[in-house]
Amino acid sequence: MTSPTQVRIDSDVKREATVLFANLGLDMSSAVNLFLFQCVLRGGLPFNIEMPNYNKETIEAMMEAKKISSDPSVKGYSSVEEALDALKEE
């Protein structure tokens, strides 16, 4: 028997997780069920909870990268060579 459950999830995280799970052949419901099953099986979370020790510059770089990656007007490249060729043209 299954029981419906509602959870609030950040929209960006949900979108990224949905793509990840689809690549693994899972839907959101199956992935959440796997997570909960592992929690019950292990008697806790199935991974360590840690606070990363990133410095300010690293955090700013990660935020900038996330912003750039979600901007549809930013040109992407499929190889380093392609990016270098584009820089030479500028």
**Average pLDDT over the chain, rounded to whole?**
93
The pLDDT score that the predictor gives to residue 70 is: 87
The yes-or-no verdict on residue 62 having pLDDT over 90 is yes
The conformational region for residue 43 under phi > 0 = left, psi -120 to 50 = alpha, else beta, is: left
The yes-or-no verdict on residue 42 having pLDDT over 90 is yes
> For 14-38, how does the pLDDT look when each residue is reduced to its tens digit (9 = 90+)?
999 999 999 999 999 999 999 999 9
Total-model pTM: 0.57
